[in-house]
Structure 1
């Protein structure tokens, strides 16, 4: 899972880089492994800054001052099947044809056949393990077929038809065509989110933005925004004061199935994705979870409801309201420790949980505690949390999950873990409770979770992480390939180092 962003300013003398940097701060939760920006100057020159680390560390004032141009894209990387090497920081760039930058959120599930096709039929070299570089080169190869000196919108849409024909998976992309336009497109199932927004300036001109979440639009005063439809693309000309964005439904919608995990865990609560308020879905999750808890426990079994910060707070608060039990903040979070389930080995994850959360003994001592979390993945964090609660004097600990049991790989861009490492894989709820050391584990049902998120327009979701049934299907051997990549990354993680690459490319003038 990554964050992507693209902006075109009507005033071509105003640099877009500062606003891209600020937008990245609002999307930082979507990727903390690496950050990158590419901008385009008036004569088609591409300026680039990217590197490992948080946006605030990569985008220093000195580096950003060198990013000229009123049109640009940004990316925040959350590592999936690719490595954490600096070479895989995005946006990616190819100089043929025209000069193209691309930032991508998601995963392709037919990478093996695509790599063979690129090598044997197209003769384009793929230098990394990143799906994003592969997707960029497929788009470039399709665009090159037109063999024109200057590209136009129809050429871009035709090239995207080829991308949709060849690529399977969940993906949302923003890209730059040097000196020509910014473009964005979304997979035919709408698995990964992408929104388009506009902002009117005092002189009547308009600025345009593409982003992974609506929160960026509100923060930057883009008052009108909407989701791109599955299979839809948009092209925004570099001189947007004289030309309107053009939208096209490039391929028919296969099925409108956003990823359920966005609403459970990944998206900010103040975002609205596909017309669905993340905050209100999490309130509904708490209400449904409480109803399920009351089927398994007596009211007297619980003295207090405590969330695992931060994502579970909304769910836990509503759960406590429905149960009629006090809600307490029992864990204080150290905000300077990153996510635990993406750390390279088990020992680091365990110690990180203790660094990340510190229990308030007064909220646990002598109490029967219901702990609410957004999900249970490996169980590493859950086990340590239960241990901390009991060490702090809790007499009984029950553990509730806002999500159903996660029993399968997430294949569309969230690197949870291999299936065999998921705590719920081939285990009953009772066995999970025994492993993490609590009295009982209570999961949200999948039916209830879908009820919390669905609308009149969207009634189905990508739920393969819970069911093993993926909306796109998978290429033979893909899951095994994914797990082998993860193992290779873990073995080589000690060799990774933070770097920053500042690049400048001369591209064709338009």
Structure 2
């Protein structure tokens, strides 16, 4: 998307089911598991660039030796740094014993991160700061192995304060900024209680059954215990994604199906989806089961996974993004008055390319129908020249904009910075017939509209098209997210700004005050979670009215140029992405009560002039 937002952490889990010498003999290295963990994380690096971390558990370690270890990094290339450090440690060991890599158990004893259980995480900081202390996994240590816990996840919780109160814990400054810290306290609390009841035989199923009903949010979490138990679990609505694969050599889980397929070279149907409310639980012997921990609720898997976040190398996601673009073709044809001769199609940014293919496919289908009708209308009056001209008609596609990844806007003074932002993209000159061609560009989604106004529209205007049509493969983003995407402030959304502008133009500002007072009253009665009041902000206006107002807001005032914005419909979104129906950021229909509370709080913050998070 042209407006970058932080989002979606990534999880990677591997449990080796054979002794380390097996992998040395079959694959030529005792580091097989670590190598695969690196690939699994690297294939998901799009999911988190604020830091990463790994934890490992060694099985059958003599008393007095470390069995749970962790490495984390918050540098720009954090995955590479972690695994480079491990590589350097191996080289250092080889100085003292050249063939140590041929002795897996000896290598295991001297290389901290070499173990049979591995948990990796990629972080996008939706809460907390971006220093290394906030990188997952978090760990809790104890003298009793079964009470040691490493935990990581792709999630946000919206009830961390309540969790601390439940455990009668006064959180420190660090704990207040990390929802994983709150989750860790809860899971570890029940892990200790379970171990007290069943020493050395604690049931992870019981632990999760007691802990996870307390969490309000969307999550996929992974955990390792010091005695060799492990788990990966998904929330009851399936908001955050999780997939797994198992054979007799290893068990693996990750946030993206394609990452598992590529890393381990397995077929699509071999990688299973971990269903909502279920946990993949592996015991210390390496046997695994899928347990239904929470009763499954209405499936609300995040639709942004399919629109933008997950990598498009997954064949289902690829087809769905094609469909997103294809569904928009009829509306776009109407907007250009079916004049394909004088319309150029392009996309910004590169992540919108697949949806662009779908849009062009729809245009080609229409053009082919026209060709057939015209040729049939000629009857016997067909000449080679006429036929050649008709067959050679194509949809005009151009690479209009190229992002200059080397350009950085170091200057922060507003006027100078806006000038610099305009040049983040380079344009391709000579592609547009001035004042004749309409330019249609497709984007994944439009969040803030800032980049469109300050960079893309200004840049495209230099080509002097007759009209610019911006097409979003996602519907209007109207509401904050609180389940893993960093969209928590109402004032950031161009759709919200458009609604406010319409209220002002029509003398309806009083409605906003009334809604604000309603939220304040609900807050006093502890009812802020019961209803999404912010829906009433949009109710007086049609989707088309808000789209038209967005078009005005993203058009720089000094440009004498017609700009139109077309958004995906909710109905076509669900038709394109039938398994991921989570749409609360578009519709305000939150799957948990905490979502309503966050949304109402974000509106109150805006009305009070507070530029802070809604949770």
Shorter-chain TM-score: what band?
0.7 to 0.9
CA distance in 1, matches of 2:180, 2:471: 36
What SS does structure 1 have at the residue aligned with 2:194? coil
The root-mean-square deviation of aligned C-alpha atoms, in Å, is 3.0
Within-5 A mapping of 1:109-258: 109-118=158-167, 120=168, 127-148=175-196, 150-152=199-201, 155-198=203-246, 200=247, 205-221=248-264, 223=266, 224-240=270-286, 244-258=287-301
What's the CA shift for 1:306? 0.6
CA distance in 2, matches of 1:470, 1:94: 33
The equivalent of 1:473 in structure 2 is 593
The equivalent of 1:388 in structure 2 is 459
Q: Deviations over 1:40-92 (max 9, x none)?
A: 12326122111213334432422454522121111111121322232111111
What's the CA shift for 1:145? 1.5
The equivalent of 1:107 in structure 2 is 156
CA distance in 2, matches of 1:192, 1:346: 37
2:56–2:114: 8 Å Cα contact kept in structure 1?
Answer: yes
The equivalent of 1:264 in structure 2 is 307
1:12–1:69: 8 Å Cα contact kept in structure 2?
Answer: no
The structure with the greater share of residues assigned to strand is: 1
What's the CA shift for 1:116? 2.0
What's the CA shift for 1:480? 7.2
CA distance in 2, matches of 1:225, 1:350: 46
What SS does structure 1 have at the residue aligned with 2:396? coil
CA distance in 2, matches of 1:59, 1:360: 40
CA distance in 1, matches of 2:413, 2:588: 25
1:17–1:39: 8 Å Cα contact kept in structure 2?
Answer: no
The equivalent of 2:355 in structure 1 is 315
CA distance in 2, matches of 1:348, 1:245: 59
What SS does structure 2 have at the residue aligned with 1:405? coil
Q: Give TM-score, length-normalised by structure 2.
A: 0.70
Change (3 A) 1:417 1:297: farther
What SS does structure 2 have at the residue aligned with 1:170? strand
2:590–2:596: 8 Å Cα contact kept in structure 1?
Answer: no
CA distance in 2, matches of 1:347, 1:139: 50
The equivalent of 2:520 in structure 1 is none
Q: Does 1:47 align with 2:77?
A: no
What SS does structure 1 have at the residue aligned with 2:69? strand
Q: Does 1:62 align with 2:132?
A: no
Q: Give TM-score, length-normalised by structure 1.
A: 0.84
Change (3 A) 1:356 1:178: farther
CA distance in 1, matches of 2:131, 2:490: 24
Paired residues in the alignment total: 466
CA distance in 1, matches of 2:480, 2:175: 26
CA distance in 1, matches of 2:602, 2:283: 37
What's the CA shift for 1:332? 2.0
Q: Note the residue ranges of structure 1 that are not aligned, 5 or more in a row.
A: 490-510
| Higher Rg | 2
The structure with the greater share of residues assigned to helix is: 2
Higher relative contact order, structure no. (Cα contacts within 8 Å, ≥ 6 residues apart): 1
Q: Note the residue ranges of structure 2 that are not aligned, 5 or more in a row.
A: 1-7, 21-29, 90-111, 365-394, 499-545, 556-561
CA distance in 1, matches of 2:417, 2:35: 35
